Structure 1
Amino acid sequence: MGTGERPLTFFALILPFLAAAAAPLLTRLLKHNAAWVLALAPLWMFSHFAGMLGPVSEGAAIAGGFDWIPSLGVRFSWYIDGLSLTFALLITGIGTLIVLYSGGYLKGHPHQGRFFSFILMFMGAMQGLVVADSFLMLFVFWELTSITSFLLIGFDHAREASRRAALQALVVTGLGGLSLLAGLLVIGAVSGQDDLSGLLASGDLMRNSPLYLAALILLLGGAFTKSAQFPFHFWLPNAMEAPTPVSAYLHSATMVKAGVYLVMRMNPVMGDTVAWETILPLFGGVTLLVGTLLALRQTDLKLMLAYTTVASLGLLVMLTGFGSEKAVEAAVLYLIAHSMFKGALFMVAGLIDHESGTRDIRSLGGLRGAMPVTFAAAILAALSMGGLPLFFGFLAKEEIYAAIAVGGGWATLVTVVAIVGNALMFAIAFAVGLRPFIGAAAKTPKHAHEGPVLLWLGPVVLALSGLIAAMFSTIAHQLLSSPMASAVAGQDLQIDISTIPHIGMPLLHSALTIALGIGAYLALDRLRASMASVLEAIGWGPDRGFDQAIRGLLRLSFGVTKIVQNGRLDIYMTVTFIAVALTLLVPMVLFGELPSVPVFPDLWFYEWTVVAIAVIGLGAVVYAQDRLTAIVSLGIQGFAVALLFMLMGAPDLSFTQFMVETLSVVILALVMTRLRLSVSDHRPTGQKILDVSVAGACGLAFGMLLLKVTQLPFDETLSTFFKNYSLVIAHGRNVVNVIIVDFRGLDTLGEIAVVMITGLAILALIRIRTKDQTVPAKRKGRR
């Protein structure tokens, strides 16, 4: 990569976040024209990545980056090949149209600037994900897509349904992100690589590893949750609570394909195994059927499209795992086609809702005259989704049937699943793209009319793109499809399919699909009623199971909290000190690290006096008859330690110890006078025995630890460092003061902050208790 390209690519990666920061201000200043200005950011990004089509189509991979955390060897790096470049172009190209569409769809919305900010942040996160090279960068952007999608799905936060859908999406994809992180750690440990480019050059290393299956399951955990594979499919239709621009962008063209991107990216190093070619087609095929069958049940245009998106994602996963070069080519063609026709249809659904006031297909009809431009975009997108000739969706469907027409029981089963799924998607495509526009004009909540240019520009461009790409398929394959397929397969592939149908079984399968699709379209109302009956009979589903799991988690948390946080401070302290004693004693006993018994030293009479003071203080604490005497006696121990410091030639530490002990006694005494406690301690004998045992165990543990430490050879490295540099660096001769104030300055500041916060908390508790004590008396006086 040239030196001039590196900063431009870095700028392209951060530009969405810069635009997101400026979006609220620009929206306030420019009002309705803000969308046109903000759309320039993704448009420039699209043109930048489009400039890479030439070298990438010739087989080059563009890599670059900067040191992110040099001390840890972490880089902010990118790797752009056919796969990541195609995704980057879809993200920025469709993103440009979505920004414009949002300007019209949310016109006059009080939080439109915030929406622009969220959608641009998501764009930056998704773009960073697909071009990331380092594992850490991939994971960071992966999680950022979950966070930004949470903000977008819950944009209408005043509605409970929006909040639930946002939380559900965050929980499901967030858990998948943790699974992905674990998988990346396993892959890194096995391969010794921390970036994708290095992993792709590792050959069969992952496939031959005994940890392959663990890495695969963890990786697919992240991919399946993100791309809504069964049984994690339920979050995506619920996410339709978001505004339509979100549905058109996140849940058709970008975010939900992040899992598919991950599977495709890992195919060269983790594919071509029995596990890969079993798990992916199995879950993908089930997801395809479940998505299309559930789509039949819906009457909301967005939900119908949402469930077919689930089905399409299942089809992509099934093809990627099928294990042939043709299947990879089919997956690539279908991914590109799906992004165009599904993005267009989602925007059409939003446009219909915006201009007629409803998305219920039962309340729509005859809109062709009132919305001719929208109708044209809808029918073009439906033709591509239905896989009819002259559209890019047709190329994808033909390649699908050519890929799986290889004979054998497994291929036959996959073929049947693909035909049924594609036929039902054909029916839904024309139910959304044709039915609202034909027939008698229906009475809608709003007088339907054509929307403004900001609303119909996006669907028209995407729908025409599906037609133009197919008409000029040779160029499209050379620049996009073939480089992408080569990256997914890990070897050079050349796609040459055109609008001329395959002659043979693929054409027969295609004809059968269209015939079944037409039949399903004509019988759509009866099929909807049948599916409603079936689902009502089944009752339970993953969506309800999610709510049950969350409720169970809350009940479990409540039960655990009642046990471990029961409100009794004495239990907390007992458990804590038992844990401390066991932590110190058990390792010393198990690993034979007990200290040797020291020889008691010869002491001078004044040293014996200090020991006697300490023993007398201990006896005073134990045998004190009231709490105040015990507190005062407790200070004797600290004074004895302070005297030892003084005798050992450390007057500064001695002075500090005197101050600490004095203040501790005074503060404790003052606090005791403000608390409602009995004068003396009336604990049962059993409790006293337990407390004595715990206290003795802690004392013994710390004593043995200190003895063991003092019996080890003394390492003077740190002492020498402080002695040599205290005066030179900190200009202080008192080494202890220099350590506290300079070398450990932030630590000391933190300790001061902790003491201050603790003091404020104690003061607040005392005041609360004082108010609780005075309120009843005042109320009594009023009576």
Structure 2
Amino acid sequence: MTPAVIDDTTLYAVLAPFAAAVVAPFLTRWLKHNAAWPLAIVPALMFLHFTGFIGPVSEGQTFTAAMAWAPAYNVEFSVYVDGLSTLFAMLISGIGTFIILYAGGYLKGHPQQGRFFSFLFLFMGAMMGLVLCNNLISLFIFWELTSITSFLLIGFDHLRAASRRAAIQALVVTGGGGLALLAGFLMIMVTTGKFEMSALLTDPKVIKNSGYYLPIFLLVLGGAFTKSAQFPFHFWLPNAMEAPTPVSAYLHSATMVKAGVYLLMRMQPVLGGTELWTTVLPIFGGLTLLVGTILAVRQTDLKLMLAYTTVASLGLLVMLTGTSHEKALEGAVLYLLAHSLFKGALFMVAGTIDHEAGTRDITKLGGLRAAMPITFIAACLASLSMAGLPPFIGFIAKEVLYYGTWGWLEFWGLPLTITALVGNALMLVIAAAVALKPFLGPKVETPKHAHEGPILLYAGPVVLSVLGLGLALVASTTGNLLIAPTLASVSGKVVELDLHLWPTYIWGNVALYLSLVTIGLGIFLFTQLDRLRDLIAAVLKAIGWGPDKGFDQFLAGIVSFSSWITHRLQTGKMQTYMLLTFAFTAVAVLLPGYLTNSFPAMPKMPDYRFYEWGILLIAVLGLIAVLIAKTRLTAIVSLGIQGFAVALIFMMFGAPDLSFTQFMVETLSVVILALVMTRLNLSPRDHRKGIDIALTAFVSVAVGLGLMLTLLAITQQPFDSRLSEFFTEYSRSIAHGRNIVNVILVDFRGFDTLGEIAVVVLAGLCVLALIRVRTKPDKPEEAPASAEAPLAEAQTGEAR
């Protein structure tokens, strides 16, 4: 179905957060933390706008809108609205509304709260652009903008070394993946000739059938895996917990870490379904799921526990997307929605506990239920969804994904089911620990007197956790309006869903049996949580190395290599610098022609007149004089013969002004070099060894040959007379001059000519300065000191 063209309102909705970012600091200066209330209106209105697309996209409609951005490069600011982009836009704007409110209470009194709001809105706008952009290049721009804005948010507390390190780590990892993604997008555009995502989806097999599928697949995976923290790139995400909790809640629930998942889901119809896709994604996704949950059990910090489960959840989503199985994809979409709700709520709960109790270490918390009842209820509701228990949306997602992995009756079906079961059981352990450990049990004294936070802190957790319950209670409506259109975008075909909260049958229901096993295993592991934590810590200590340490080693290696190469190249010798410069110049002009076998054909020798042969003979004699010169000064003067010969050639071929310029510049060059040589403490002769002379000669010949071939290639191309015709037509009418050359120099290229004049004047001033330099005579040897010396010096002075 051809996308319908809509007005620019959606484009403005995408750009609205950037406008809010400009206003936020000024509004915060006026209203303090209460600025969160009017600022939250912006994402709330965006959410309402995109809810208007629910009905049409659920009926299979798609929409586009575009405005010119860089038309010369086929880059438009265009949006593509379908089920997938609508769901993501609603999550980003809806959860973003409560994040803005939460930030108002969490950073109350912070002197940089306005700056934080501005960064948060920039990040929100970048994510909105990423999930809605239709043009591949503009999508990449927003992709990189999320990396830059997340760098600002993670490193918000820039006075702390840990914050700076985490921000740099996130920027390096995701930025490197972004460069890979750019290369992948460029290959897609070259291979298909299409610049729009909507155009790619109309012919999804074009990349799979091309010979460039493998490099495109690897490059796109590089961008997606780094952004969504897939193993072994997972380490940056937990370290990002150095950011304030509003950032963690937003980044881990619906925004940056989901960008890679969005990309994989968006590219599923174009790249998915192949043997490579259904092998690589499930392996890395499953491994990330297990690594994330195991490392989460190891932690005692609430935010780190939730961060590692986010890594695990992202791995689960990638694993399910990699199957390309319709039921597994349905489970992925359901879990995407469920995870966004319960993870956003739980991160805000963790931040509230830290804000009001002064710590988020579960070993130092307990008995907070009476002091923080609303937060406790929100934590329980969100944790039940995270644990995959009824009657929450997380339970439905778990049931469906088990149907998908078990129903994928291929070699990977059973291993993926076992992986999902173990991962979900460990997820239940973390959910129980987060919900129960801080709130139940005897009251533990905390650094701060714990109490319930203001409404700004608990509004988000309450609404998001209740939504996880409400969407499950109306599962059929949720499936028809949200899940089905999203699944249609991911799978590339229209699907019909019939979701139910409760299983329609029990006997033979494999997914239900797997859920019961998951719950039983999770409860058992929760009772052994302390022992399990110690065991994992011992294993990690025995291993002693991880990707996080490897990142530091990688950066240290880059610094060491840079130092080594700098010391090798930056020797302090001008001769080395010039040799390297000309060597790379030779490579640049010769290598492309050699690789493409596109060297120009040698032209026929023209019939020169006798005086033309004479000028060429002068140039050759000058070259021989340079080569056989015994002193540097003789070589410099002989080199001037080449310049004068070129000036004569210009004059013979009808360019007297250029010839005059060449004469003047060559004269100044010879004079300046000669004066410099006479005043530098240099040996009059070149005492280099034979091998150095041979190397210099080789590079010189290579550069000369390369430039000659380049000029020949240029002159053998058809002459484009448009510029000449332009100057001929407009020199008199615009510049009022008959001499076209003068008009070009004075009017059309006036600033260029001014620069040339400045160079000549500067060269003349240098010559004048060198002429005025007086070489000081050698200081005479001092006579031996004696008692009569001062008297003699004084008498000499009087005589003078």
TM-score (norm 1): 0.89
Q: What secondary structure sits across from 1:125 in the alignment?
A: helix
Work out the CA distance in 2 between the residues paired with 1:527 and 1:725: 84
Checking the alignment, whether the CA contact within 8 Å between 1:621 and 1:634 is kept in structure 2 is: no
Greater Cα shift, 637-646 or 45-54 = 637-646
Q: Retained in 1: the 8 A contact 2:6–2:64?
A: no
Q: 1:594 is aligned with what amino acid? A: M
The match for 1:498 among 490, 500, 522 is: 500
Partner of 1:7: 8
Relative to structure 2, which stretch is displaced further, 573-582 or 15-24?
Answer: 573-582
Structure 2 residue aligned with 1:97: 98
User: How much does 1:249 deviate?
Assistant: 0.5
Change (3 A) 1:300 1:723: same
Is the Cα contact below 8 Å between 2:252 and 2:343 reproduced in 1?
no
Structure 1 stretch displaced more, 2-11 or 37-46 = 2-11
Secondary structure of the 1:321 match is helix
TM alignment of 1:144-155, pairs within 5 A = 144-155=145-156
CA distance 1:186–1:273, shift in 2 (3 Å): same
Residues 1:709 and 1:20: Cα distance change in structure 2 (over 3 Å): closer
Query: In structure 1, what is the Cα distance between the partners aligned to 2:758 and 2:114?
Result: 38
Task: Provide, for residues 38-61 of structure 1, a one-character-per-residue CA deviation record: whole Å limited to 9, x for no partner.
Answer: 211111111111111121122111
Compute the displacement of 1:421 (Å): 0.8
Give the counterpart letter for 1:305 in structure 2. Answer: L
Q: Which secondary structure does the structure 2 equivalent of 1:359 belong to? A: coil
**Which residue of structure 2 aligns with residue 431 of structure 1?**
433
| Distance (whole Å) between structure 2 residues aligned to residue 758 and residue 542 of structure 1 | 56
Q: CA deviation at 1:300?
A: 0.5
| CA distance in structure 2 between the aligned counterparts of 1:127 and 1:278, rounded to whole angstroms | 31
In 1, Cα distance between equivalents of 2:5 and 2:719: 56
**What residue in structure 2 maps to residue 70 of structure 1?**
71
- Over 3 Å counting, the alpha-carbon distance change for 1:377 and 1:712 in structure 2 is closer
1:450 is aligned to 452
Please give the residue correspondences for 1:503-514 in structure 2 after superposition, counting only pairs within 5 Å. 503=506, 504-514=509-519
Instruction: Give 1:697 shift.
Output: 6.2
* Paired residue secondary structure (1:405): helix
Percentage of pairs with the same residue: 59
Check if 1:568 corresponds to 2:570.
no
TM superposition shift of 1:679: 6.3
Give unmatched runs, 5+ long, in structure 1: 763-783
Taking the TM superposition and a 5 Å limit, the aligned residue runs for 1:743-782 are 743-744=748-749
Partner of 2:387: 386
Give the CA deviation at 1:269: 2.7
Q: Which amino acid aligns with 2:171?
A: L
2:495 matched to 1:487? no
Please say which of residues 251-260 and 730-739 is displaced more in the overlay. Answer: 730-739
Q: Is the 8 A contact 1:595 1:711 kept in 2?
A: no
- Deviation digits for residues 526-547 of structure 1 (CA, Å, limit 9, x no counterpart): 1111110111111111111222
Corresponding residue for residue 109 of structure 2:
108
Structure 2 vs 1, CA of residues 339 and 741 (structure 1 numbering), >3 Å: closer, same or farther? farther
Residue 24 of structure 1: how far off its partner (Å) = 1.9
Equivalent in the alignment of 2:796: none
Contact 1:610 1:643 in 2 (8 A): no
Per the alignment, do residues 194 and 616 of structure 1 end up closer, same or farther by CA in structure 2, a change over 3 Å counting? closer
Aligned partners of 2:341 and 2:73: how far apart in 1?
A: 41
Structure 1 residues 86 and 659, CA gap change in structure 2 (3 angstroms): same
C-alpha distance 521-181 of structure 1, shift in aligned 2 (>3 A): same
CA contact 1:594–1:708 (8 Å) conserved in 2: no
- Could you tell which deviates more after superposition, 175-184 or 383-392? 175-184
Partner of 2:773: none
Q: Which residue of 1 aligns with 2:530?
A: 525
Contact kept, 8 Å, 2:173 with 2:233, in 1: the verdict is yes
Displacement of 1:189 after TM fit? 3.4
Amino acid at match of 1:116: F
Closer/same/farther in 2, CA of residues 476 and 748 from structure 1, 3 Å limit: farther
SS of the residue corresponding to residue 252 of structure 2 reads coil
TM superposition shift of 1:647: 6.4
Aligned to 1:773: none
Return the offset for 1:577: 3.1
Count of equivalent residues? 758
Match of 2:463 among 461, 480, 486: 461
Task: Report what 2:729 is aligned to.
Answer: 724
Query: In 2, distance between residues paired with 1:712 and 1:409?
Result: 59
- Whether the aligned pair in 2 keeps the contact of 1:316 and 1:334 (CA below 8 Å) is yes
Contact 2:184 2:219 in 1 (8 A): yes
- Measured in 1, the distance between the counterparts of 2:189 and 2:709 equals 41
Gaps of 5+ in 2: 768-800
Is 1:652 equivalent to 2:696 in the alignment?
no
Give a deviation string over 1:55-104, Cα, whole Å, max 9, x none.
11221111111222223333221111111100000000001111111111
User: Residue in 2 aligned with 1:376?
Assistant: 377
> In the superposition, relative to structure 1, how do residues 476 and 742 fare at CA in structure 2: closer, same or farther (>3 Å)?
farther
Instruction: Give the superposition deviation at 1:750.
Output: 7.5
- Indicate the residue corresponding to 2:688 in structure 1: 684
Q: Per the alignment, in what secondary structure is the counterpart of residue 436 of structure 1?
A: coil
Aligned residue in 1 for 2:253: 252
Q: Which residue of 2 aligns with 1:766?
A: none
* Equivalent residue letter for 1:379: C
**CA gap 1:422/1:713 in 2 versus in 1, 3 angstroms:** closer
How far 1:294 moved relative to its partner? 0.6
Taking structure 1 as reference, are residues 644 and 258 closer, same or farther at Cα in structure 2, changes over 3 Å only? closer
Matched residue SS, 1:683: coil
Contact 2:373 2:452 in 1 (8 A): yes
* Alpha-carbon distance in 2 for matches of 1:610, 1:273: 65
Q: 1:423 to 1:688 in 2, by over 3 A?
A: closer
Once the 2 structures are TM-superposed, how far is the Cα of residue 748 of structure 1 from its aligned partner? Answer: 5.7
Render the CA deviation track for 1:215-256: whole Å, top value 9, x for unaligned. Answer: 222222211111111111111111111111111001222111
Residue 133 (str. 1) matches residue 138 (str. 2)? no
Q: Note the C-alpha offset of 1:566.
A: 2.6
1:470 matches 2:483:
no
| Cα distance change of structure 1 residues 614 and 190 upon mapping to structure 2, 3 Å threshold | closer
Q: CA distance change for structure 1 residues 100 and 521 in 2, over 3 Å: closer, same or farther? A: same
> Contact between 2:331 and 2:398, CA under 8 Å: does it hold in 1?
yes
Q: Tell me the secondary structure at the aligned position of residue 76 of structure 1.
A: strand
1:420 aligns with 422
Q: Does 1:546 align with 2:546?
A: no
Q: Within 1, Cα distance between the matches of 2:137 and 2:711?
A: 41
- 1:594 matched residue in structure 2: 602
Q: Following the alignment from structure 1 to structure 2, what is the Cα–Cα distance between the partners of residues 139 and 662?
A: 53
Backbone CA RMSD of aligned residues: 3.4
Amino acid in the other structure paired with 2:316: L
- Aligned runs of 1:349-368 on 2, under 5 Å? 349-368=350-369
Shift of 1:258: 0.9
- Which secondary structure state, in structure 2, belongs to the residue aligned with residue 63 of structure 1? strand
What SS does structure 2 have at the residue aligned with 1:64? Answer: strand
Taking structure 1 as reference, are residues 666 and 29 closer, same or farther at Cα in structure 2, changes over 3 Å only? Answer: farther
Note closer, same or farther for the CA distance 1:154–1:681 as it changes in structure 2 (3 Å cut).
farther
Match of 2:561 in 1: 556
- Worse overlay, 138-147 or 395-404: 395-404
Helix, strand or coil: the match of 2:77? strand
After TM superposition, give the deviation of residue 429 of structure 1 in Å: 0.7
Cα pair 1:618 1:634 within 8 Å, conserved: no
- Rate the CA distance shift 1:356–1:569 in 2: closer, same or farther, 3 A: same
Letter in 1 for 2:500: S
- Spell out, residue by residue over 1:660-709, the C-alpha distance to the aligned partner (whole angstroms, 9 max, x if none): 345545655676688x5336344235355655665566567666876887
Deviations 1:528-583, CA, capped at 9 Å, x for gaps: 11110111111111111222222222222222333333332101212333454566
* Residues 1:496 and 1:593: Cα distance change in structure 2 (over 3 Å): same
Cα distance change, pair 62–715 in 1 and its aligned pair in 2 (3 A): closer
Answer whether contact 1:614 1:640 (CA < 8 A) is retained.
Answer: no
**Amino acid in structure 2 at the alignment position of 1:213:** L
